[in-house]
A = this chain, B = another copy of it.
Amino acid sequence: MKTKVVIIGGVAAGPKITAKLLRTKDFDCEINLYTEEDMISYSACGLPYFVEGLIENPQRLIVRRPEQFEEQGAHIHLNKRCIKILPEEHIVLIQDTLTGIVEEVQYDKLALATGARPVLPPIKNLHLKNIFTVRKVQDGINIRNKMRSSDTKKAVIVGGGYIGIEMLEAFYLNNIETHMIEMNDYILPIFDSEISEMIKAEILRMSEGKVKITTSDAVIAFEGEECVKRIITAKGQIIETDMVVIASGVTPNTEIARAAGIELGVSNAIRVNNRMQTNIKDIYAAGDCTENFHLVSKNYAWIPLGSTANKEGRCAAINISGKYDAFPGVLGSAVTRYDGFTMSLTGLTETEAKKFGFDTISSTMTKKDKAGYMPSAENITIKLVADKRSKKILGAQAIGCGDADKRINTVASAIQSDQTVDEFLHLDMTYAPPFSTAVDPLLSAALLINNQIYS
């Protein structure tokens, strides 16, 4: 008899589970995927580049179409929202978002991939026109249409995280005068503060006055008749604008999970074990709606990322099919850019590491990413953080117009294997003048720590 697998959610982890199950031999299953959206399997991470205009056709963001899954035997149900899980009965209630009709769907194995949604901060007049969030393809289309309309000269971005920075790039490169407002004292507060300061300075330098960044201030009201015309901040700034993008964070879509008795963890994300099982039998979860185990802090964290969603989706599918797979956890490796300036990190920042009780030692160094005499050489700044006692590497941050992100992956691989600074500085990295320096900046950063320890 076929195992009835029901998957809720269609952006990243849901389609991944579907795809992996379809490829799994010796597992006879009927797959039904439900999504409240009108499309599946799209790259939400690509939306800023669609807005920017690097991609003209929004269809390009779609990884897989429902028909492709249908042809392989999976059933994809668009515009169908899961409104309730009845774990005892192994039933989910699915509501058609167009007709309102509710149906009962029976499952043997249920996978929740409900993702996350933008958080709307408590700002007055959120209902005004031309205030956007960035999550779905239609959001990207709406933002771009407004940005490209002839009456749009100015924009405000609420929030200085990844999506805020990426939208800032999109607006800046489209000649929109843009003002970013970040409540925290630093933009990209997931970096150590001095690195965040460098990032801010560099963005402002590159933008030559066309971009403004306000930190330590919050938007408290939007104003305008029908459309937003200006914003008011807590510190009394009044900023004229033609449109607003709110990118002030996300929250996991876990209300139906919580209502069903599924245990939640950090930030209300679903707690799963390393097989992506929730506390309730036959219910799995994967992707942005789940909590993550952090491999360095050995604590739970909520770090919703597309790369992790794919790994978790694969792991969930393998375990749903009765085989065994374990997902060890994450390092929080991430990257973004602003017009050629790359910002990337993995593991813990020094601030985080101290919070978790590590006695840290760190080095920060700026060096050319290639042989200094190569015309393409650019500066990168690397901060490497280690534990003073064990000498294990805890994290790294790399920023610059040079080749920064791939170097972060090299450190990620080292952290994943518990490498010490001593081990790491002997790493045999590739060298040729167009690619690096004879002593790679990463190794220089490690040598600096080593010199501190042994001096």
CA distance in complex: A411, B429 (Å): 10
- The answer on a CB contact under 8 Å between A438 and B405 is no
Quick one: CB contact mask for A338-367 with B, threshold 8 Å, 1 for yes?
000010101000000000000000000000
Interface residues of A in 400-436 (CB under 8 A from B): 403, 405-414, 416-419, 423-424, 426-436
CA distance in complex: A105, B333 (Å): 54
Given contacts A311-B426, A417-B417, A427-B412, contact A433 B43 (CB under 8 A): yes
Tell yes or no: A310 within 8 A of B by CB. yes
Among B49, B334, B419, which residue has its beta carbon within 8 angstroms of that of A417? B419
The smallest C-beta distance from A394 to any residue of chain B, in angstroms, reads 14
The smallest C-beta distance from A374 to any residue of chain B, in angstroms, reads 6
Among B327, B328, B346, B431, which residue has its beta carbon within 8 angstroms of that of A430? B346
CA distance in complex: A49, B411 (Å): 29
- The answer on a CB contact under 8 Å between B413 and A455 is no
The smallest C-beta distance from A292 to any residue of chain B, in angstroms, reads 9
- The answer on a CB contact under 8 Å between A432 and B310 is no
- The answer on a CB contact under 8 Å between A25 and B310 is no
Given contacts A49-B433, A337-B434, A434-B49, contact A427 B413 (CB under 8 A): yes
Tell yes or no: A188 within 8 A of B by CB. no
- The answer on a CB contact under 8 Å between A54 and B374 is yes
Q: Which of A308, A311, A432 has the most CB of B within 10 A?
A: A432
Among B371, B406, B424, B427, which residue has its beta carbon within 8 angstroms of that of A45? B371
The smallest C-beta distance from A169 to any residue of chain B, in angstroms, reads 10
- The answer on a CB contact under 8 Å between B417 and A429 is no
Among B49, B306, B327, B431, which residue has its beta carbon within 8 angstroms of that of A307? B431
Tell yes or no: A206 within 8 A of B by CB. no
Collect the chain B residues with CB atoms within 8 Å of residue A373's CB.
Answer: 43, 46, 49, 55, 60-61
The smallest C-beta distance from A2 to any residue of chain B, in angstroms, reads 22
Tell yes or no: A448 within 8 A of B by CB. no
- The answer on a CB contact under 8 Å between B409 and A412 is no
Given contacts A371-B43, A416-B423, contact A432 B333 (CB under 8 A): no
- The answer on a CB contact under 8 Å between B430 and A333 is yes
- The answer on a CB contact under 8 Å between B438 and A12 is yes
Interface residues of A in 275-316 (CB under 8 A from B): 295, 305-311, 314
Tell yes or no: A134 within 8 A of B by CB. no
- The answer on a CB contact under 8 Å between B408 and A413 is no
What are 7 A-B contacts defined by CB distance under 8 Å? A45-B371, A330-B428, A405-B436, A406-B407, A409-B427, A411-B413, A417-B418
